[in-house]
Chains A and B, each alone.
Chain A
Amino acid sequence: MQKTRHIKPVRFIVEVGILVVIFTLVQYLISAGLLNQYYQINLASICINIILAVSLNLINGFTGQLSLGHAGFMAVGAYASVIMTNYMELPFIVGIAAACLAAALAGFIIGVPTLRLRGDYLAIATLGFGEIIRVVLQNIDYVGGPAGIMGISKMTTWPWLFASVVVTLVVIVNLINSSYGRAIISVREDEIAAELMGVNTTKYKVLAFVVGAMFAGLAGALYAHYFYIIKPETFNFLKSFDILVMVVLGGLGSTTGAVIAAIFITVLTAALQSFPAIRMILYAVILIMVMIYRPQGLMGNRELGRRTFGKVFGSLWGEEK
């Protein structure tokens, strides 16, 4: 089977075209006032949750390292960006850059010592570090202590959300579908065999952890500048579990699965608002049902991508293996 690996110009233009159409459509709906506040908030939550789930999936799903501290990195990003925008009055882009850098640095500092641990030990260690971040923030008066920071200017708009999701997806998908990505996956498959085949497993675990943390920081920045207020309590371990639920529900090691699950969970949470009394019970029941009937997650470790579209739309997408 002969196949080309280069970008097909036509396909590339069509794909960019689809993105432009989605972007413009939503932008039009918002500016024409057809999308009310409720839908807009949910849309923002969906975008932020997609970034969180996809980035955690890089760590948990592809690298196979069970991390329970993702909300901690989100907090680092949120606070770093707010310090830049609210305190220093710098533009939002600086805030976002600071959020990514600070979270990536936190990921590196936490990743290097903890990634020596395996399985449940790593889970406990990352859980602990996530909580440490939260407690540290609670005790810094500069960022408001337990009360957090209020009155953050709303800078997260649809273009920012859309661009952030696209960048996250492109970077992580491109990373995974490369030799570096295969090295990362080999760590999940068999760490000892990977090491003996010349893969520096520690390096790739840290790489995945840092990239994952960086995007969690991005999500934190978007969150802070959409919901006006951040406080340490928002980023506790329950938030980390929420993200983990999305990843497991979507299927460990499936980026499309993480996206679908992030949308599903966000919409489900929103829909259940109307039944406050039994909300959590319904939520739990739905999750249990999914796990019973699809224990490998909605997507397993498969992807919904060019190959699938290839079957539907023919050769334009078809040849990517």
Chain B
Amino acid sequence: MILMNIEHLHKAFGGLSAVLDFNAHLEEQELIGLIGPNGAGKTTVFNLITGVYKPDEGKIHFANQDITGLPPYEICRRGIARTFQNIRLFNDLTVLDNVRIALHKDVQYPLLSAVFRIPSFFKGEAEMEKKADEFLKIFHLYDKRYEKASSLPYGDQRRLEIARALATNPRLLILDEPAAGMNPNETAELMELIRSIREQFKLTILLIEHDMSLVMGVCERIYVLDYGQIIAEGSPEEIRNNKRVIEAYLGEEVS
């Protein structure tokens, strides 16, 4: 079943077309990679999907609904969550609060119940904390729940970002260079983690990554973007041998 369908997406910044006639579809529970040279427009595509930018043209359908041009928080509520290329945690807050904020959209008690501290507030808070703790345990961050997000080591911050995104209860998880700045060991661990959360939460995952071992290792299908256009699509094997992809990355052969 198709979870997301993107048709003729177009976005220009001034005279520069960052994304040009972008078409793609995501199957339910697929693990898809989006790769391309620097400046190809990959993050712009993510920003268009999640509502950070409004597309100039084109349609995005998600779970049979048109989500084109909705504000980001609405898109999140419909089941798309993401992480960022340059980590964007709530730095001054604790690890626990970072995850609890992602749970806020399903808050179980009304505002006045918080102000007057009636029982539904305590019940709602207790449930929220329990839920947040579950996510923190999956990502081995439970022991650090009261630490400030900014004080975590880099790898933990990356994982906390994924935990926070998962806490919004998405159907589609979008990861923007999750392995950036990680060493080979950490990358291997991350690959395992990505696979296991997909199974556990029945997720569709779309990721941008420059680390080819990760992309080729976990992705089932790959889109290759260059100058805002898709130049190739297929399985890792097909992409590896695609002439246009090799040209885009390494340049044309001089004859």
Contacts and interface: CB of A to CB of B under 8 A. Distances in A.
Interface of A: 5-7, 170-171, 174-175, 178-183, 185-186, 189-190, 192-201, 207, 301, 321
A168 to B, nearest CB: 12
B122 A195 contact: no
A178 B128 CA distance: 11
A6 B52 contact: no
B101 A197 contact: yes
Given A5-B126, A175-B115, A190 B104 contact: no
Interface string B89-131: 1111100010011111101010100111100011011101100
A73 B90 CA distance: 31
Given A197-B168, A200-B73, A179 B100 contact: yes
B128 A198 contact: no
A196 B92 contact: no
A198 B91 contact: no
Which among B73, B102, B111, B164 has the greatest number of chain A C-beta atoms within 10 A? B73
B114 A182 contact: no
Interface string B16-58: 0000000000000000000000000000000000111000000
B201 interface: no
A212 B125 CA distance: 24
B15 to A, nearest CB: 25
A192 B86 CA distance: 13
B146 interface: yes
B100 A196 contact: no
Given A178-B125, A195-B71, A185 B93 contact: yes
A167 B121 CA distance: 19
Contact of A180 (B111, B116, B126, B164): B111
B59 to A, nearest CB: 21
Contacts of A5: 122, 125-126, 129
A207 B111 CA distance: 10
A6 B114 contact: no
B125 A193 contact: no
A197 B98 CA distance: 10
Contact of B77 (A170, A182, A198): A198
Nearest to B128: A179
Query: What is the predominant secondary structure among interface residues of chain A facing chain B?
Result: helix
A178 B101 contact: no
Contacts of B73: 195-201
B90 A185 contact: yes
B91 A189 contact: yes
Nearest to A186: B101
A304 B160 CA distance: 28
Give 3 closest A-B pairs by Cβ, nearest first: A198-B105, A178-B114, A189-B90
Contact of A192 (B52, B129, B165): B52
Given A189-B90, A195-B71, 19 more contacts: A5-B126, A174-B116, A175-B115, A178-B111, A178-B114, A178-B121, A179-B103, A179-B107, A179-B124, A179-B128, A182-B101, A189-B93, A192-B88, A194-B90, A195-B73, A196-B51, A197-B101, A197-B102, A321-B146
Nearest to B164: A197
B136 interface: no
Contacts of B208: none
A210 to B, nearest CB: 11
A175 B111 CA distance: 8
Contacts of A7: 117
Given A5-B122, A179-B100, A193 B114 contact: no
Contacts of B52: 192, 196
B90 A198 contact: no
Nearest to B88: A193
Contacts of B158: none
Contacts of B82: 196
B93 A198 contact: no
A66 B146 CA distance: 28
Nearest to A188: B92
A196 B76 contact: yes
Contacts of B128: 179
A266 to B, nearest CB: 27
Contacts of B116: 174
B228 interface: no
Nearest to B165: A197
B84 interface: yes
A192 B83 CA distance: 11
28 contacts: A5-B125, A170-B115, A175-B111, A175-B114, A179-B100, A179-B104, A179-B109, A179-B128, A181-B114, A182-B104, A183-B101, A183-B104, A185-B93, A186-B93, A189-B93, A193-B88, A193-B89, A195-B71, A195-B72, A195-B76, A196-B50, A197-B76, A197-B101, A197-B164, A198-B73, A198-B77, A200-B71, A321-B146
B228 to A, nearest CB: 22
Nearest to A7: B117
